[in-house]
């Protein structure tokens, strides 16, 4: 019997047509339909939900705790302040390959915070109508969202390589989860789910007591009884060593597991196919991207190391193409010896070589900047994403917002986390990710190659075990923007694993998708296909594995404080709260104390004013300084020459109209709100600068209020933004950057207000909006660029 499916409303606000849950694209306008399957947690005394029930007028209940958002184009309910129960999810954001993330809040009746339900996304749920299930011969309407299988249900049938891989991932997660007080999740078999070779946790409940590695040993000992015969004695002895605390730290445990994985890896033959391609794109004058191997080439290596690199020169910087090519050339030279060797190397040695090569590439670009006396926004830089294969492992290194995705027969996962302001806000525990993306500087980079000395650069190097056919996609944002990878991986990358497509063919097709569906930037793609085949004649003697446990590596507490997925730090100053950025992290919002401030001003008097005048050029907000502005107009428009609004009392604003704002009044700019209501902290998207172009998406008239609320989307702002991604400012103390006195650095300066950016959407009172709208203005295609394109733009007019 088929279960009822939800209706998904098109996220295009000019369409919003209902669609069956199994559709990938809107049947009316062709817009991709995001399917967000959510897991409900929390809520004291939460009632059981019934399938088919609708919660908060948008969440369709699939099972008791599995929901799907029927309105993916509308932001979910966000908390004004982050409660302690969801902080671990935010701090562990870099580990989202394994861990779920908070999507939004489901308010309880009576708004009791203790009864609120939190909705988790990217958790261990198979989506409706997945290709995984369809390949098993089931029709789309028969495939329903369901939890991924328990690790314990898949354990006995897994290969020895897969079993050790799952244990290795648990060991990798132990330290960061313990630091955030949720390591007990790894001891709860009911929360341990698997998606092929990936370990996935369903949720992260708080630890009642601090767990110990000996408890992990007890759990693993129970699994040793059903482990593969080749590794059962090894796992039993390793578990006993954990129970007796002979193995005390995660780093010791990981090294012992690596020894076992190395022996198991010899049971398989691996072939790596690598192909790359780059294209200028339809709108750019030159290509600032670069790749290795050279564009258009395809290579295959058998059981040896391989290298693929994608670099994206920072848009708007002079010499972005020079920076990206310098990075490629330097990395190739310094990693050549590592790539050419096929001998076993310790993982930490490989990581050190990668980090050393990245530092050399960074300093070479920075030196070029200094030689040419490039300062601030004139300095050239580049992002970087790199894959290095080595026997049964792959190392992924990235800086900036070029991305890596891991594709297997069961799914597609982004394994890198953009080095941008939005991600930083989440890792600091200040905001949910979807909320952080709405901020004005969300896409601004916080680090890139070549912008300063390597001492302030923190590359992220991750290591993964390959035990099945996989593809790793490296790409610039010309492809990854607007979720194009998530929309097309099944049709353009998955066929590589079955041998239907050659790797180079998929590279070419992905570049075409980036150019056609995005088209705003250069597009560069690198694909690494890992084919894994068992060697029939190979065997594994259990005694060889047990022999690997005879010597336990010495415990090193400092090494344990560097979890996988987080950038390496100096052990003397290690702190996970200190995110990888040369910019100081923003302070969490605090309530202002006006009397105290006035008292301080009276006490400091002229001295404070003089100090401000002396240092105001250096007191620049780091987020605001990230924006890449176009060269200033030598003949700027005189504000007084702008047309004076001629708005009558009979004029109204209607959906579908384009509005252009006049110069903002002296008493402040308009504030765009997330929801209808007061401009309170947490409900403010940002200020709308004068001259901005808006598209009216909707309008609601309150019954008890004569005023109407207008929903608008920001199409453009007066400051032209060539790309949502911008480069970081030079760091104080770095080469080419001026030193800032410590007195200035400690000054309590409030950052300037955040401004909206193109594509932001929110609400504003019609009463406040009307007086600032210019009549009879038809915006150009460029001015409409940040909005959903309307075939017949309607200007605002007055009777």
**Model confidence over 185-203: pLDDT tens digits?**
999 999 999 999 999 999 9
Residue positions counted in the chain: 799
- Per-residue pLDDT at 141 exceeds 70: no
- Per-residue pLDDT at 96 exceeds 50: yes
Kindly report, residue by residue over 413-446, the tens digit of the pLDDT. Answer: 999 999 999 999 999 999 999 999 988 789 999 9
Q: Which is higher by pLDDT, 121 or 741? A: 121
Q: Which of 33-47, 486-500, 648-662 has the highest mean pLDDT?
A: 486-500
Report which DSSP code applies to 84: G
Confidence at 675, pLDDT banded by 50, 70, 90 = confident
- Per-residue pLDDT at 249 exceeds 60: yes
Cα(633)–Cα(219) distance, integer angstroms: 67
| Mean pLDDT in residue range 358-381 | 91
Cα(7)–Cα(26) distance, integer angstroms: 11
Q: Where are the beta strands (DSSP E) in 668-737?
A: 670-673, 684-688, 693-701, 708-716
| Mean pLDDT in residue range 52-81 | 92
Query: 794-795 and 657-661: which strand pairing?
Result: parallel
| Mean pLDDT in residue range 277-285 | 94
Query: 411-414 and 403-408: which strand pairing?
Result: antiparallel
| Mean pLDDT in residue range 442-453 | 92
- Per-residue pLDDT at 641 exceeds 50: no
Cα(527)–Cα(293) distance, integer angstroms: 11
- Per-residue pLDDT at 393 exceeds 70: yes
Residues near 696 by beta carbon (within 8 Å), at least 6 away in sequence: 653, 654, 655, 656, 657, 658, 659, 710, 711, 712
Mean pLDDT of the chain: 81
- Residue 419's CB is within 10 A of a number of other CB atoms, namely 26
Tell me the sheet residues that pair with 20: 7
- Per-residue pLDDT at 317 exceeds 70: no
DSSP codes, 464-505? EE--S-EEEEEE-HHHHGGGHHHHHHHHHTHHHHTTSS-HHH
Kindly report, residue by residue over 679-717, the tens digit of the pLDDT. Answer: 776 677 788 888 888 888 888 765 445 678 888 888 888
Q: Phi and psi for 201 in degrees, rounded to 5?
A: -100, 135
Q: Which of 14, 170, 87, 29 is nearest to 426 (CA)?
A: 87
Of the listed ranges 21-25, 600-604, 720-724, the least confidently predicted one is 720-724
């Amino acid at each position: 019997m088929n279960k009822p499916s939800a209706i998904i409303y098109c996220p295009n606000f000019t369409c919003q047509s209902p669609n069956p849950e199994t559709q990938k694209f809107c049947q009316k306008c062709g817009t991709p339909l995001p399917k967000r399957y959510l897991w409900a947690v929390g809520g004291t005394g939460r009632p059981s939900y019934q399938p088919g029930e609708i919660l908060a007028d948008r969440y369709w209940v699939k099972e008791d705790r599995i929901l799907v958002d029927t309105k993916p184009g509308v932001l979910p309910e966000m908390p004004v302040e982050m409660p302690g129960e969801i902080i671990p999810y935010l701090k562990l954001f870099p580990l989202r390959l394994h861990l779920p993330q908070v999507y939004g809040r489901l308010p309880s009746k009576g708004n009791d915070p203790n009864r609120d339900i939190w909705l988790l996304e990217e958790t261990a749920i198979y989506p409706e109508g997945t290709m995984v299930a369809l390949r098993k011969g089931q029709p789309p309407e028969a495939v329903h969202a369901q939890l991924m299988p328990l690790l314990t249900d898949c354990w006995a049938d897994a290969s020895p390589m897969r079993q050790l891989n799952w244990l290795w991932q648990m060991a990798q997660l132990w330290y960061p989860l313990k630091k955030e007080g949720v390591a007990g999740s790894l001891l709860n078999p009911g929360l341990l789910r698997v998606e092929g070779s990936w370990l996935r946790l369903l949720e992260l409940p708080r630890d009642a007591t601090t767990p110990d590695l000996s408890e992990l040993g007890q759990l693993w000992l129970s699994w040793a009884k059903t482990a593969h015969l080749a590794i059962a004695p090894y796992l039993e002895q390793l578990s006993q060593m954990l129970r007796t605390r002979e193995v005390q730290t995660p780093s010791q445990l990981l090294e012992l597991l690596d020894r076992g994985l190395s022996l198991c890896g010899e049971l398989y033959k691996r072939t790596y196919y690598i192909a790359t391609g780059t294209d200028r794109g339809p709108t750019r004058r030159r290509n600032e991207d670069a790749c290795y191997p050279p564009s258009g080439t395809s290579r295959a290596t058998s059981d040896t190391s391989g290298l693929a690199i994608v670099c994206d020169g920072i848009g708007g910087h002079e010499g972005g193409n020079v920076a990206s090519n310098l990075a490629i050339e330097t990395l190739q030279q310094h990693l050549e010896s590592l790539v050419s060797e096929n001998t076993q190397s310790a993982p930490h040695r490989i990581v050190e070589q990668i980090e050393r090569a990245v530092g050399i590439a960074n300093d070479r670009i920075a030196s070029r900047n200094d030689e040419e006396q490039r300062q601030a926004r004139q300095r050239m830089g580049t992002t970087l994403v790199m894959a290095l294969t080595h026997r049964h492992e792959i190392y992924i290194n990235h800086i900036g917002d070029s991305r890596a995705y891991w594709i297997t027969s069961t799914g597609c996962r982004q394994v890198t986390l953009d080095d941008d302001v939005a991600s930083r806000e989440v890792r600091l525990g200040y905001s949910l990710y979807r909320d952080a993306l709405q901020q004005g500087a969300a896409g601004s980079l916080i680090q890139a190659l070549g912008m300063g000395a390597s001492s302030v650069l923190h590359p992220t190097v991750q290591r993964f075990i390959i035990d099945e056919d996989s593809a790793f996609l490296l790409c610039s944002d010309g492809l990854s923007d607007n979720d194009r990878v998530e929309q097309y991986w099944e049709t353009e990358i998955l066929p590589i694993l079955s041998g239907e497509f050659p790797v180079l063919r998929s590279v070419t097709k992905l570049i075409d998708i980036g150019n056609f569906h995005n088209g705003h930037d250069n597009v560069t793609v690198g694909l690494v296909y890992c084919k894994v085949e068992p060697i029939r004649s190979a065997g594994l003697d259990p005694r060889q594995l047990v022999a690997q446990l005879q010597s336990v590596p010495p415990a090193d507490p400092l090494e344990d404080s560097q979890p996988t997925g987080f950038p390496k730090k100096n052990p003397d100053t290690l702190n996970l709260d200190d995110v990888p950025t040369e910019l100081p992290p923003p302070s969490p919002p605090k309530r202002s104390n006006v009397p105290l401030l006035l008292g301080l001003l009276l006490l400091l008097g002229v001295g404070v004013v003089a100090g401000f005048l002396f240092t105001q050029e250096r007191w620049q907000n780091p987020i605001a300084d990230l924006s890449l502005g176009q060269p200033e107009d030598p003949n700027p428009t005189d504000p007084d020459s702008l047309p004076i609004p001629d708005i009558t009392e009979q004029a109204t604003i209607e959906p579908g109209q384009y509005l252009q704002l006049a110069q903002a009044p002296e008493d402040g700019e308009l504030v765009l709100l997330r929801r209808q209501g007061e401009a309170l902290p947490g409900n403010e998207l940002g200020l709308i600068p004068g001259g901005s172009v808006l598209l009216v998406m909707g309008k609601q008239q309150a019954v008890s209020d004569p005023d109407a609320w207008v929903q608008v989307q920001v199409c453009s702002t007066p400051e032209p933004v060539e790309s949502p991604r911008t480069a970081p400012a030079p760091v104080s103390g770095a080469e080419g950057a001026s030193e800032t006195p410590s007195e200035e650095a400690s000054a309590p300066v409030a950052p300037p207000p955040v401004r909206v950016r193109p594509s932001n959407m929110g609400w504003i009172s019609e009463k406040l909006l009307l007086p600032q709208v210019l009549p009879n203005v038809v915006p150009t295609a460029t001015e409409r660029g940040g909005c959903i394109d309307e075939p017949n733009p309607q200007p605002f007019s007055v009777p």
